[in-house]
Structure 1
Amino acid sequence: MQLYCVYSNGRSADCGAAANTQKAKPQSLRLLVEREARRRKDQETLLLSEEELRNIWFLMKEMGVETNGEVRINYDGFSQVLVRCRECFGPQIDPYFKASLFLKFERDNNGCISANQFLNYLNLRTSMHQNRLELSAFDLGNTGNLTTEQLEEYVKSLVSQVPALSDIQPDFLDHYGRIAVRKLLFFHGKNGCVRIRDLVNSIVLQELNELKNNQLQEHQLISNWFSIQVKRQPARDEMDMLAFTDFVLAWDHRSHPAAIKYFFDIFDLKKQGYISPAEIYTFFKEIHYMWVHVMNEYADLSIYDVVDEMLDMVKPKVFALPMPAPGCAVLCCVVIVREQITARITPEDLAVSGMSGIFFSTLSDVKQFYDYNYRENLMHQDDDSGS
């Protein structure tokens, strides 16, 4: 495999030209040469190409026996495949055909192993080794770990290799890198770093590598976290990094006027400019379900009682419409009475009450409602522990 150095602007350069560089700077040619030197040493173990893997499969079928779509091969045939492969690929192929490796596969009564499983092993090993080489190229300190910034550089370096990401604009590339690595860090990160050995066989990295397949269908791209379609496609149940940041800020400062506006737009389901008892009921219904089935609390908690408590807490200005005048038709009375219980909580009501934080918390998080519902007991516990 031909090796070459890459400048930060993407142009190739002669590795030997920088051999006498005395002082290395971040991303200097010397560091890049050292990176390529490490890759050269690692590549002493052969990386099998797709064509070479196909040739090995052809030889396995020739030396083995195929039954019901599965090829099985004994050790004699296995050894003959090694001889033929050595003629084609050289002695570097030997580690793939050791006797100890053959014995690791399950054998039938005839001493045969599944050639299909063996080829899957070769594919997996090649993929893992390729991943290790690519990831290690960004481990400039040879620590065995990648920082968040190095992961972002790695992900961005793959853009040119992935057809599905080819339309990323330069001004969006840094943003894409920050979003993409969040999943790698979520599953494998610790203190802002990820161990390379945890990534080489990671299903998350496999998801990223799947984008290199230019035959992916639209639905496959949409379901892939690393796809540009996911990052740009607006969806009701998705939030990008900036939206998530806004959410965290609003949640941590729930009583702030900016947070009131943020959450009010969510709770005002009908976009009428106020929150009605029906909307409070809708949100707390989900909390009530978790209260019973997750927190294992008492099921006789009345949702309507909580709705009334929220209204008493906020004390909205528009709480009840006037009672109908005497002599109104019965139908009119029914309509008015129904309207009478329809309070209207506005952003101003929440700001004046000073209870917006508790209001939004108890209707959004079952743990927050638990703390609110048992607030007196929790206060006594704190007093007892402090005495």
Structure 2
Amino acid sequence: MEKKWVAALKSYNEGKVHKTPAENDKEADIEFLRLLEEERKVEEEKDPSYKTIPRFFYKKPSNENSLYFRVRQEARTRFLQNKTAEVLDKEDLERLWFLLKENVSLPEDGTERINYDQFVYVSSMLPPKCRQFFTSSTFLKFERDEYGRIEIVPFFHYVVRKVNLFQTRIQISLYDSSGYGYLKEKDLENYIFELMPTFPQLQNLQENFYPFYVITAVRKFFFFLDPKRTGKILIKDMLTSPILAELYELRQDRWNMEDAVQNWFSVQSSLRVYDQYLKLDGDHNGMLKKEELAKYSSGLTKIFIDRVFEEYQTFEGEMDYKTFLDFVLAMENKKTSQSIQYFWRILDVYNKGAIDTFVINMFFRNVIEMLENRDKSGFKVDDVKDELWDMIKPEMPKCITCQDLINCGVGEVVISMLTDAKAFYDYDQRESSETDDFDDFNGEEEEE
């Protein structure tokens, strides 16, 4: 049977002309152009106007399982595979480092530096794919000494960083299901899920927690890189974001507990947030009610909690874990513009793009009521409001915009004062010698 199969294969290949990959590509291009020309002629027969007015709009097929999308995806995959072949591997980098060390330029002064002539010579000794790093513009990026030399070590580190960035871009692009340079939420979930086994810091993560970990990791990317909630993140934004670098810190074999706690993607951090969610879920139904979320922090006002549930996605008046993660990220990163935008939707009650004294009074009223219920009084609200305007310095008088909060540099303080009675009290008493604290701030409400 095997001999018949071999004979049949030989018979099929007899007379076949074996072509190089370049010849095959050229043949494919010619065939593609021929098909396009046929399609153009068919369209002209259907509508004669195409002979004088070229077609400029092509409706994209809506079915992602169509031949259009499948061919497009295959083309992108092959393109990325070809690009992968252009990336420097370990042997290329070792060869580059060896040549740089062997061609240190004179004078011998104990430093490892190279001038432009030697720089060009090293380039000529390397494979063509290495020469993209040996341009004159690249050489001029580095500080030169009196002899026109640059240091070898910083240049080599520059090449390594570029190679790692290129590899990462190709790797992420493979998960771009649409092929338009961005990742949807499901794309990013797939990327992180398949990346997890490569991280030493996640080796102790229990498998049944994997789905919750992936959701936790994905939310940080979307919170900071998609503040307008378009449902997609540009790959170029991911590559330039410190969030991706924070994720890749999990590649380290060892790190101290302080670094682990501060890293959102660590096992410790993800378990902390999930455990916090479970503790707030008093009725254990997997969702949070308003009164349950209010226990997140002792001074959060009722109007603030109500507005969170009004503005952000809830299910029959309850908050799921994904929405809770956005809330936590906003609360823990109040200084960032993305968090200020998150809170702005809550403060902008009438959706006018600006808030005035009436809205500020609306939020302050809840703050003062909470303080008075705990025998905290004597606050001069008008003085605080005047101070608020001085802090923000809005472009329009008595009217605050989101951009004003971002530009003023103390937006997080203003937000805390309007939404958190404890934060308001701490700010008001910042210069007081009293040591009163609010550790049991919501104790009375819980007893009731």
> Which interval holds the TM-score relative to the shorter structure?
0.5 to 0.7
* Pairing of 1:124-143 with structure 2 (within 5 A): 124-143=161-180
Once the 2 structures are TM-superposed, how far is the Cα of residue 29 of structure 1 from its aligned partner?
A: 9.9
Q: 1:295 and 2:336 equivalent?
A: no
Checking the alignment, whether the CA contact within 8 Å between 1:24 and 1:30 is kept in structure 2 is no
**Alpha-carbon spacing, 1:199–1:69, altered in 2? closer, same or farther (3 Å):** farther
Checking the alignment, whether the CA contact within 8 Å between 1:24 and 1:31 is kept in structure 2 is no
**Alpha-carbon spacing, 1:366–1:126, altered in 2? closer, same or farther (3 Å):** same
Q: Which of 57, 60, 76 is matched with 2:100 structurally? A: 60
Using the alignment, how far apart are the partners of 1:240 and 1:68 within structure 2? 61
Once the 2 structures are TM-superposed, how far is the Cα of residue 193 of structure 1 from its aligned partner?
A: 1.4
Aligned length: 257
Q: Please state whether the residue corresponding to 1:158 is helix, strand or coil.
A: helix
**Alpha-carbon spacing, 1:54–1:216, altered in 2? closer, same or farther (3 Å):** farther
Calculate the TM-score normalised by the size of structure 1.
0.53
- Residue deviations 1:332-367 (CA, integer Å, cap 9, x gap): xxxxxxxxxxxxxxxxxxxxxxxxxxxx96735759
Once the 2 structures are TM-superposed, how far is the Cα of residue 108 of structure 1 from its aligned partner?
A: 2.6
Once the 2 structures are TM-superposed, how far is the Cα of residue 40 of structure 1 from its aligned partner?
A: 0.7
Q: Please state whether the residue corresponding to 1:194 is helix, strand or coil.
A: strand
- Residue deviations 1:101-141 (CA, integer Å, cap 9, x gap): 22333323211122222122112211211221111011111
% same residue = 27
Once the 2 structures are TM-superposed, how far is the Cα of residue 163 of structure 1 from its aligned partner?
A: 1.2
Partner of 2:305: 252
> One-letter code of the match for 1:113?
I
* Pairing of 1:41-52 with structure 2 (within 5 A): 41-49=82-90, 52=92
* Pairing of 1:182-331 with structure 2 (within 5 A): 182-189=219-226, 190=228, 191-233=230-272, 239=276, 246=288, 250=294, 252-253=305-306, 280=374, 291=384, 295=388
**Alpha-carbon spacing, 1:188–1:241, altered in 2? closer, same or farther (3 Å):** farther
Calculate the TM-score normalised by the size of structure 2.
0.47
Using the alignment, how far apart are the partners of 1:68 and 1:294 within structure 2? 61
Q: Please state whether the residue corresponding to 1:146 is helix, strand or coil.
A: strand
- Residue deviations 1:31-82 (CA, integer Å, cap 9, x gap): 9866642321322432343x54344334323322599986321012212322
Partner of 1:265: none
Partner of 1:168: 205
Using the alignment, how far apart are the partners of 2:379 and 2:149 within structure 1? 57
**Alpha-carbon spacing, 1:286–1:218, altered in 2? closer, same or farther (3 Å):** farther
* Pairing of 1:46-125 with structure 2 (within 5 A): 46-49=87-90, 52-64=92-104, 71-84=112-125, 86=126, 90-125=127-162
Checking the alignment, whether the CA contact within 8 Å between 1:47 and 1:129 is kept in structure 2 is no
Using the alignment, how far apart are the partners of 2:82 and 2:189 within structure 1? 25
Q: Which of 103, 125, 150 is matched with 2:187 structurally? A: 150
Q: Please state whether the residue corresponding to 1:186 is helix, strand or coil.
A: helix
Checking the alignment, whether the CA contact within 8 Å between 2:199 and 2:250 is kept in structure 1 is yes
Question: Which ranges in structure 2 are unaligned for 5 or more consecutive residues?
Answer: 1-62, 282-286, 295-303, 310-316, 319-369, 391-417, 426-448
- Residue deviations 1:306-345 (CA, integer Å, cap 9, x gap): xxxxxxxxxxxxxxxxxxxxxxxxxxxxxxxxxxxxxxxx
Using the alignment, how far apart are the partners of 2:280 and 2:109 within structure 1? 53
Partner of 1:302: none
Checking the alignment, whether the CA contact within 8 Å between 1:128 and 1:201 is kept in structure 2 is no
Checking the alignment, whether the CA contact within 8 Å between 1:148 and 1:193 is kept in structure 2 is yes
Q: Please state whether the residue corresponding to 1:211 is helix, strand or coil.
A: helix
The CA RMSD over aligned residues, in Å, is 4.6
Partner of 1:38: 79
Once the 2 structures are TM-superposed, how far is the Cα of residue 143 of structure 1 from its aligned partner?
A: 1.0
Question: Which ranges in structure 1 are unaligned for 5 or more consecutive residues?
Answer: 1-22, 260-275, 298-359, 368-387
> One-letter code of the match for 1:187?
F
Q: Please state whether the residue corresponding to 1:143 is helix, strand or coil.
A: coil
**Alpha-carbon spacing, 1:161–1:32, altered in 2? closer, same or farther (3 Å):** farther
Using the alignment, how far apart are the partners of 1:195 and 1:287 within structure 2? 47
**Alpha-carbon spacing, 1:152–1:62, altered in 2? closer, same or farther (3 Å):** same
Q: Please state whether the residue corresponding to 1:200 is helix, strand or coil.
A: helix
Checking the alignment, whether the CA contact within 8 Å between 1:151 and 1:181 is kept in structure 2 is yes
Checking the alignment, whether the CA contact within 8 Å between 1:35 and 1:140 is kept in structure 2 is no
Once the 2 structures are TM-superposed, how far is the Cα of residue 218 of structure 1 from its aligned partner?
A: 3.5
**Alpha-carbon spacing, 1:56–1:169, altered in 2? closer, same or farther (3 Å):** same
**Alpha-carbon spacing, 1:162–1:292, altered in 2? closer, same or farther (3 Å):** same
**Alpha-carbon spacing, 1:188–1:95, altered in 2? closer, same or farther (3 Å):** same
Checking the alignment, whether the CA contact within 8 Å between 2:261 and 2:269 is kept in structure 1 is yes
Using the alignment, how far apart are the partners of 1:34 and 1:285 within structure 2? 70
Give the stretch that moved more between structures: 64-73 or 123-132.
Answer: 64-73
Give the stretch that moved more between structures: 116-125 or 131-140.
Answer: 116-125
